[in-house]
């Protein structure tokens, strides 16, 4: 029955409830209860009849199968989690249908599969089995090849280990065996591309340094030579002594005094760029047991027009700040020792490995550590060979008696070195580091000079067999001043020999990387931190651990040190001098240094 209240027709009950249920959220805003709770009786969606969607083939006709009896192949969901999200008014209805889904009802009148589907199933099964078989075979072959490669690599490493252990004689001590482990770094394959790229970068940096020094030398000698010439002061004094009458065209005297020199005056020290261009540029290092002095970067110039010589030092502070300062002033110098003592330096005295000697007293601006010695000995490590060859064609030098005598002296030392090379081949580290430590103990005065008896005793202690004739011949050559005392560094280099300058450059690079404070010595704790043994062949093969290789290196190095807590440059160099004796190829020796130190 329709009712009307205050002029408004009453709607049916179902419509009124639906309208009121939708209007209330709009008036009161959002509530915590969902909208579905306010509508307890939702319309039920009728089930979908799937019988009409089957194919038209007779063998696919499943229309006679009731929908309620269809077999469900999917796994039912988690009932406990599903029921938590069901609306309370629908929970009973949902639980009823879920219980029906759980029942795995297999119809009794299910038709048997036809021959078409049996054939398809058999083909699919055969393809899957064949694919799985091929996949298993590929994996087995891949694993077998990996195992074969690993075994072959392990066998090669084991063969090298056996050969190396057989090469070590029975008379070697434990210290010798630990020292020889460092030579094993050369067994790693040489990475030519990485090494070439790194060496190219180092060459570019070195050329940039040389160019900077050459520019500074040209600036110093072209701009400052006339200013610093004493003749300019004499000329200025004469002009100032003359009474000059006032003239309106001449500037006042107070203004003319501000100029440093009269540029129109030509003096003997006046140079031109053409004169300074005829020069030979070379790199040098100081032969010293002081690590700070031995690692100085020196660049020298020999000028052909007046036979003068100058040496500059390249100094770097941090990454961006550099400075170039004169180390040896430009002047004409002479040899201070050897067969050529007192003779002026000439073009033939400049080659890689040559020694330049200077009196420390002639250079008051040298560091105190260098002034402690009477002589400053500088070794040429690299030279501009192109400029040297071009200048040699212009100047003709004749061979004299001194050159022949120097050649004879080198033959004497070469014979002794060849005789001792076999004795030092496997024991080089122990003997060289032991000799250095022994000489330092005998040097009570600290000047590095020992007498003849001390050297004989040292050869006897370390079982180095040198004939009496060879020893006397070498002593006469070394004791050229007749004082009866010789520097033990010179004696060791003459008797035993030394590695070439190419190898020593990498030894200095490694030490300079460790000695970042430039004190001349490195604490053992810093060496332990910087040394890396990950790429050692025995670590790669699993025969040794990184800690074992590191400890073997530190034990042999500490055996050469006078102080147990730090290593000086001389001790560091002695260690690698001993290793260098047993390494023939230069690149192998460079690998021994590059790999653990990362230089």
Q: What's the first-to-final CA gap in the chain, in angstroms?
A: 104
CATH topology of domain 201-226+271-397: PH-domain like (2.30.29)
Q: 27 falls in which pLDDT band (50, 70, 90)?
A: very low
User: Do the first three CATH levels of 201-226+271-397 and 405-495 match, i.e. the same topology?
Assistant: no
Q: Which of 112-121, 295-304, 527-536 has the lowest mean pLDDT?
A: 112-121
For residue 300, the model assigns a pLDDT of 94
Reference 486, options 499, 475, 471, 496; nearest CA is 475
> What is this structure's pTM?
0.63
For residue 254, the model assigns a pLDDT of 52
CATH topology of domain 503-597: Recoverin; domain 1 (1.10.238)
For residue 345, the model assigns a pLDDT of 94
Write down the CATH number for the domain with range 405-495: 1.10.238
Is 203 or 399 the better-scoring residue by pLDDT?
A: 203
Q: 31 falls in which pLDDT band (50, 70, 90)?
A: very low
Q: Parse the chain into domains and list their residue ranges.
A: 4-61, 118-162, 201-226+271-397, 405-495, 503-597
pLDDT tens-digit readout, 83-129 = 444 444 444 555 555 555 555 455 566 677 777 778 888 888 888 88
DSSP output for 170-194: TT--HHHHHHHGGGGGGGSPP-HHH
For residue 17, the model assigns a pLDDT of 43
For 584-592, which contacts have Cβ atoms below 8 Å and span 24 or more sequence positions? Answer: 585/186, 586/500, 586/502, 586/503, 587/190, 587/195, 588/186, 589/186, 589/499, 589/503, 589/506, 590/503, 590/506, 591/185, 591/186, 591/188, 591/190, 592/182, 592/183, 592/185, 592/186
Q: Please give the Cα distance from 25 to 276 (Å, whole number).
A: 100
Phi then psi for 456, rounded to 5 degrees? Answer: -65, -40
CA distances from residue 334 to 219, 309, 331, 340, 367 in whole angstroms, order as listed: 26, 10, 10, 9, 21
Q: Which of 1-5, 489-493, 517-521 has the lowest mean pLDDT?
A: 1-5
pLDDT tens-digit readout, 43-55 = 556 666 665 555 5
């Amino acid at each position: 029955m329709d009712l009307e209240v205050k002029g408004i027709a009453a709607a049916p009950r179902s419509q009124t409830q639906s309208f009121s249920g939708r209007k209330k959220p709009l008036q009161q805003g959002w509530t915590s209860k969902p909208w579905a709770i306010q509508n307890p009786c939702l319309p039920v969606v009728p089930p979908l009849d799937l019988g009409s969607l089957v194919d038209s083939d007779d063998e696919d006709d499943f229309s006679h199968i009731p929908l309620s009896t269809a077999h469900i192949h999917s796994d039912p969901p988690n009932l406990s989690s599903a029921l938590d999200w069901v609306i309370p008014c629908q929970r009973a209805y949902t639980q009823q249908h879920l219980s029906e889904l759980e029942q795995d009802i297999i119809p009794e009148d299910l038709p048997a599969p036809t021959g078409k589907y049996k054939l398809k199933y058999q083909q699919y099964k055969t393809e899957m089995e064949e694919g799985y078989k091929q996949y298993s075979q590929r994996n087995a072959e891949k694993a077998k090849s990996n195992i074969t490669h690993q075994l072959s690599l392990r066998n090669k490493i084991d063969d090298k280990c056996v050969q190396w252990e057989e090469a070590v004689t029975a008379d070697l001590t434990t210290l010798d065996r630990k020292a020889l482990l460092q030579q094993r770094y050369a067994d790693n394959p040489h990475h030519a591309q990485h090494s070439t790229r790194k060496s190219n970068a180092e060459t570019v940096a070195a050329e940039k340094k040389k160019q900077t020094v050459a520019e500074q030398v040209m600036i110093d000698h072209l701009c400052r030579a006339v200013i610093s010439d004493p003749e300019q002061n004499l000329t200025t004094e004469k002009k100032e002594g003359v009474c000059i009458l006032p003239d309106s065209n001449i500037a006042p005297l107070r203004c003319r005094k501000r100029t440093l020199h009269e540029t129109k005056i030509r003096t003997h020290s006046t140079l031109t760029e053409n004169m300074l261009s005829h020069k030979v540029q070379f790199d040098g290092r100081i032969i010293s047991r002081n690590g700070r002095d031995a690692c100085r970067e020196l660049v020298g110039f020999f000028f052909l027009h007046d036979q003068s010589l100058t040496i500059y030092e390249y100094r770097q502070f941090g990454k961006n700040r550099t400075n170039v300062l004169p180390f040896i002033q430009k002047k004409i110098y002479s040899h201070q020792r050897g067969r050529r003592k007192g003779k002026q330096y000439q073009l033939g005295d400049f080659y890689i490995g040559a020694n330049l000697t200077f009196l420390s007293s002639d250079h008051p601006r040298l560091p105190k550590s260098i002034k402690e010695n009477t002589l400053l000995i500088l070794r040429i490590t690299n030279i501009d060979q192109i400029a040297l060859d071009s200048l040699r064609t212009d100047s003709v030098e004749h061979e004299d008696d001194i050159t022949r005598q120097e050649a004879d002296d080198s033959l004497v030392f070469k014979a002794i070195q060849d005789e001792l090379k076999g004795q030092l081949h496997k024991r080089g580290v122990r003997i060289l580091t032991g000799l250095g430590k022994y000489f330092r103990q005998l040097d009570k005065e600290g000047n590095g000079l020992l007498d003849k008896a001390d050297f004989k005793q040292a050869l006897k202690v370390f079982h180095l067999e040198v004939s009496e004739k060879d020893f006397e011949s070498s002593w006469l050559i070394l004791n050229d001043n007749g004082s009866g005392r010789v520097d033990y560094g010179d004696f060791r280099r003459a008797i035993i020999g030394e590695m070439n300058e190419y190898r020593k450059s990498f030894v200095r690079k490694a030490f300079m990387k460790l000695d970042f404070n430039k004190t001349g010595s490195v604490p053992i704790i810093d060496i332990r931190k910087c040394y890396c043994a990950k790429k050692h062949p025995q670590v790669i093969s699993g025969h040794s651990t990184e800690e074992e290789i590191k400890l073997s290196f530190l034990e042999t190095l500490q055996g050469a040190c006078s102080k147990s807590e730090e290593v000086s440059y001389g001790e560091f160099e002695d260690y690698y001098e001993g290793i260098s004796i047993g390494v023939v190829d230069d690149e192998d020796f460079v690998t021994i240094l590059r790999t653990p130190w990362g230089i």
